[in-house]
Each structure stands twice: as structure tokens, then as C-alpha cells.
Amino acid sequence: MLADTELAGVKLSKGCCPFILWGSGSLDQTVFDDPETFDLARKNVRAHTTFGLGGRHCPGNILARAEITLSIQRWLDEFESVDLSVAADQVHYEPNFGFHALGHLPLRVKRRV
């Protein structure tokens, strides 16, 4: 910071270097109802910061969206069911400063016949 300032009620001292976490913006309860729920039909899905914002918007986002759409469609076509193979509270997130990172995601899948 070039000068002492305040941001959203938090005092920032001159010389400090705040670190902005993109992922946390998408968990803002004032923007998203139930932000931790995976909801593709969310009314304001475009407000999500997965691919950055403004001048920092990911130029590969269109390709990434197409790839994930095709991948999910393939899973839905291929498998009758996909479930956690452990209790939800046993899913482990790795400690990571910048984003949520799963250490592993144990799944039980049932292939369509």
C-alpha cells in the first residue's frame, strides 16, 4: 500500500502487501446464495471468478468451459451413478493458500450397461 487506508472495514498500513484470493470472491455470501453448493443453474453464474475478471480474465476460458462441458456430458452418458465412497466429512482438502484443493476424491461409479 502506498498509504494507510481502509478496505471493507479492514485497516491496511502503508507498505503492506495484501494478497487477493480470487477463489474467495466466489464464496461471497452477499453475491451467491449458498456459495459452497455446486449449482450450474445459479442465476448469477457469470459473476463467478473462476476465470478471473476484467483485464485478468483467462483467454482460454472458452476452451476450458467447452472441455469441462464435454467431460461432464461424457460422465453422465457413461455412468449410471457417481457417488462418494466415503462420508462427505471424510473428503480432505489440502492446505493451500490460494484455492481449495482436494487431496483425493474417493468415488464409487456404476457404469451403464
* Confidence at residue 52, expressed as pLDDT on a 0 to 100 scale: 67
User: What pLDDT does 60 receive?
Assistant: 83
3-state helix, strand, coil in the chain (%, to 5): 25, 20, 55
Look at residue 65 in the predicted model and tell me its pLDDT: 85
From 58, 74, 91, give the residue that closes a domain. 58
Check whether residue 83 and residue 99 sit in a common domain: yes
The residue assigned the cell 480474465 is 57
Are 81 and 50 found together in one domain? no
Both 49 and 72 in one domain: the answer is no
Range of the domain at 26: 1-58
Domain count, the chain: 2
Are both 81 and 28 inside the same structural domain? no
> Do 14 and 2 meet the contact criterion of CB atoms below 8 Å apart?
yes
pLDDT tens per residue, the chain (113 residues)? 899 999 889 999 999 988 777 667 777 888 888 888 877 788 887 777 766 666 667 788 889 889 999 999 999 899 999 999 999 889 888 877 666 788 889 999 999 98
52 and 90 share a domain? no
Q: What are phi and psi of 55, to 5 degrees?
A: -65, -15
In what helix (H) or strand (E) does residue 20 lie, and over which residues does it extend? none
